[in-house]
Structure 1
Amino acid sequence: MADVFPWPDAEAVGGWWNRRFDPEVDLIGADRTPAARTVFYAGSVKWLDDPFDQRDFAALRQGAAQVPGFVPESSGLVVVSRAGTHGPVAADLVWGPGEVVGAWR
């Protein structure tokens, strides 16, 4: 687990989807709720037996770009995967089960 969480100012964590539920973004880290001024990161949770792969990451990038307040040049991308990743994933943060549990300690 990283020693320092990259977005210490993220006070609220939730998800985001539009009225069609396409896309559904599992994680949004923001400065406040219900209407964020700053979106620090968007992320995807894959709690399956298959690793998170490049196709999953492309879907995350595409979905995150639709989140109001997400700025591709400054907002981060987060991957949370029970089975790890398949090859390198260009996420700003990749967590597995140990990091998720460790975050609550």
Structure 2
Amino acid sequence: MEPVVRDALTIAGASGDLPWPEVEAVGGWWNRRFAPEVDLVGADRAPVARHVAFAGSVKWLGTPFDAHDLATLRRDAAQVPGFDTGVSGLAVVSLSGTRSGVEGADLVWGADDVIAAWR
């Protein structure tokens, strides 16, 4: 599901529909051990970014994104080269929405938002 979400976010960025107008490419990031693995990284260019605008997580399950998921995203995003804690944003894409306690994400998308980006 991540490739579809990445493409939808890239389209939304090109249309100016993201909080980060500089985003031209959305990919993912992981180290050689695949720990951590960050589903979404929005950047000013690809394949090597000069600026990382956001990092994010895709949770395409029957349970909502919760505070534990957000804490994991914050921890993992800080390891992405170019991610600047406090400056770079956090994005959450969840099939089943979010639970209370997920305040602090700069972008929260559901299935309807992913589909809408393709229109």
TM-score of the two chains, using structure 2 as the length reference = 0.83
Q: Provide the rounded CA distance (Å) in 1 between the counterparts of 2:53 and 2:101.
A: 22
Q: Provide the residue aligned with 1:59 in structure 2.
A: 72
Q: Provide the residue aligned with 1:39 in structure 2.
A: 52
Indicate the RMSD between aligned Cα atoms, in angstroms.
Answer: 1.2
Gap runs ≥5 in structure 1: none
1:62-93 deviation digits (Å, cap 9, x = unpaired): 00000000001210000000000011412001
One-letter identity of the residue aligned with 1:12: A
What are the within-5 Å matches in structure 2 for residues 1-105 of structure 1? Answer: 4-89=17-102, 90-105=104-119
**Which runs of at least 4 in structure 1 moved beyond 3 Å after TM superposition?**
none
Q: Provide the rounded CA distance (Å) in 2 between the counterparts of 1:4 and 1:13.
A: 14
Q: Provide the rounded CA distance (Å) in 2 between the counterparts of 1:56 and 1:84.
A: 12
Gap runs ≥5 in structure 2: 1-15
Instruction: Quote the offset at 1:103 in angstroms.
Output: 1.2
Larger helix share, 1 or 2: 2
TM-score of the two chains, using structure 1 as the length reference = 0.94
Q: Provide the rounded CA distance (Å) in 2 between the counterparts of 1:37 and 1:43.
A: 18
Partner-residue secondary structure (3-state), 2:115? helix
1:29-62 deviation digits (Å, cap 9, x = unpaired): 0011111000000000000000000000000000
Q: Provide the rounded CA distance (Å) in 1 between the counterparts of 2:52 and 2:62.
A: 30
Partner-residue secondary structure (3-state), 1:5? coil
Number of positions where the alignment pairs a residue of Structure 1 with one of Structure 2: 103
